[in-house]
């Protein structure tokens, strides 16, 4: 870690020169800070945010007229998606909650999902992955030696949301990604497209998948362009920073705190441990940097948190994950020692997507895809 501490660090957030594709301006401020400023300008809070949110709610209501639901809302049992569902109900919308269960939900997350849907009177649709497949998919990603090993669960979530919306004829999907609280991950740490996912599976899976469905360009084209399904990242329009969200979730709705961001899903202990020990980066830097930029934390407080022993540096917790995935420590350590790879080492659609950057930008402004995803893939 001593070599890392000598790397240039952004003068505003806590990202340093070890982050792939980071650039610093003349004042030493990084491009990820500029990206967040751009998103803040695109999605102002206060009255402007409220008005835009009401406008989108009207749009969803009109599209939902004569149907059972106005929108699909992804729920994980964690903070961001639970609060988003609360906001959706406050707006008077009729959501269908969709949960993708990859076999790693914590008991707290399961109970939170049940509670919030019951208290808010929302119908819940669970898409349950086949455990053998889910495990093999994650293991394929681990064997691929890429930075983010929960990729196929993100595919499962995207697939569950889009396919449910298409099947139920619901025109809007509401997402709860918070650029203010979670930040936007560097592309090389977390990349996703259908061709890349297929390549990892073809090279490293050990079984034929019957239930898993990939999400490729032609699917997205069909859902977004032909079926006109819109993806509204509602969290952009309200202030979800700080502890007021927890207060509403805990006191008004009786939800329990899942602890760390993403810890509604227990595999994240392994995801974080693997990245730190194989790639030498700590995922927390993304969310802490975002919170420094929004002013919820000072830079010094974030740096202090980075010095503390993280929740995933626990051999029992990681050992439990490895056992469930079917790895011995010895086998896992061989993976940690193997050469690191990135999406650029596998077949992917990124060059092709770059050719369609402008239409994709237009579609992102029309809420076919979230704006932060466009920024991450094309502007970072």
10 binds Zn ion (CB under 5 A): yes
Query: Which ranges in 120-255 belong to alpha helices (H)?
Result: 131-143, 151-168, 194-204, 217-221, 244-247
* Of residues 10 and 63, the one with the C-beta less far from Zn ion: 10
- CB of 7 within 8 A of CB of 24? no
Signed CA dihedral, 282, 286, 287, 288: sign only: positive
CB of residue 149 to Zn ion, shortest distance in Å: 26
Binding region for Zn ion (CB under 5 A) out of 31-39, 175-183, 244-252, 317-325: 31-39
202-212 exposure pattern, b = at least 16 Cβ within 10 A, e = fewer: eebbeeebeeb
Residue found under tokens 């932060």: 372
Binding region for Zn ion (CB under 5 A) out of 7-15, 88-96, 233-241, 306-314: 7-15
30 binds Zn ion (CB under 5 A): yes
Binding region for Zn ion (CB under 5 A) out of 11-19, 81-89, 154-162, 211-219: 11-19
Size of the site for Zn ion (CB under 5 A): 5
285 binds Zn ion (CB under 5 A): no
* Of residues 30 and 144, the one with the C-beta less far from Zn ion: 30
- CB of 140 within 8 A of CB of 199? no
270 binds Zn ion (CB under 5 A): no
**End-to-end Cα distance, the chain:** 26
CB of residue 299 to Zn ion, shortest distance in Å: 10
13 binds Zn ion (CB under 5 A): yes
Beta strands, E only, the chain = 71-74, 95-101, 123-128, 172-175, 230-233
88 binds Zn ion (CB under 5 A): no
Burial class (CB in 10 A: 0-12, 13-18, 19+), 349: middle
Binding region for Zn ion (CB under 5 A) out of 6-14, 141-149, 158-166, 355-363: 6-14
Which of 33, 57, 122, 129 is close enough to bind Zn ion by CB under 5 A? 33
CB of residue 12 to Zn ion, shortest distance in Å: 5
Instruction: Output the six-digit token pair for 24.
Output: 């610093």
* Of residues 30 and 116, the one with the C-beta less far from Zn ion: 30
Q: Which residue is nearest to Zn ion (CB)?
A: 10
Q: In a 3-state reduction of DSSP, which class is residue 180?
A: coil
List interacting residues with Zn ion (CB under 5 A).
10, 12-13, 30, 33
């Amino acid at each position: 870690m001593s070599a890392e501490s000598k790397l240039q660090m952004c003068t505003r957030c806590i990202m340093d020169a070890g982050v792939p594709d980071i650039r610093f301006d003349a004042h030493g401020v990084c491009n990820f800070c500029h990206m967040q400023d751009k998103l803040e300008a695109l999605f102002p809070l206060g009255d402007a945010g409220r008005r835009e949110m009401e406008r989108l709610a009207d749009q969803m209501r009109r599209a939902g007229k004569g149907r059972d639901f106005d929108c699909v809302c992804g729920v994980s049992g964690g903070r961001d998606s639970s609060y988003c569902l609360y906001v959706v109900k406050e707006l008077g919308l009729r959501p269908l909650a969709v949960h993708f269960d990859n076999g790693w939900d914590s008991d707290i997350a399961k109970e939170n999902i049940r509670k919030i849907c019951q208290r808010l009177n929302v119908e819940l649709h669970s898409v349950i992955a086949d455990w053998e497949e889910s495990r093999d998919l994650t293991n394929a990603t681990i064997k691929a030696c890429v930075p983010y090993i929960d990729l196929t669960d993100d595919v499962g979530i995207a697939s569950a949301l889009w396919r449910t919306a298409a099947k139920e004829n619901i025109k809007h999907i509401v997402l709860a990604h918070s650029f203010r609280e979670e930040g936007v991950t560097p592309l090389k740490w977390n990349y996703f497209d259908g061709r890349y996912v297929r390549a990892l599976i073809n090279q490293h899976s050990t079984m034929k998948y019957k239930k898993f469905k990939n999400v490729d360009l032609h699917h997205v084209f069909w859902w977004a362009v032909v079926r006109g399904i819109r993806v509204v990242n509602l969290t952009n329009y309200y202030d979800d920073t700080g502890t007021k969200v927890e207060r509403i979730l805990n006191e008004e709705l009786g939800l329990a705190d899942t602890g760390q961001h993403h810890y509604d899903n227990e595999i994240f202990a392994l995801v974080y441990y693997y990245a730190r020990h194989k790639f030498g980066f700590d995922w927390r830097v993304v969310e802490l940097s975002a919170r420094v930029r929004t002013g919820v934390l000072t830079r010094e407080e974030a740096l202090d948190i980075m010095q503390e022993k993280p929740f995933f540096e626990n051999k029992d917790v990681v050992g439990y994950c490895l056992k469930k995935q079917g790895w011995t420590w010895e086998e896992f350590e061989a993976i940690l020692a193997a050469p690191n790879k990135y999406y650029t080492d596998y077949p992917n659609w990124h060059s092709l997507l770059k050719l369609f950057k402008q239409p994709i930008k237009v579609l992102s402004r029309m809420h076919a895809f979230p704006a932060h995803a466009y920024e991450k893939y094309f502007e970072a």
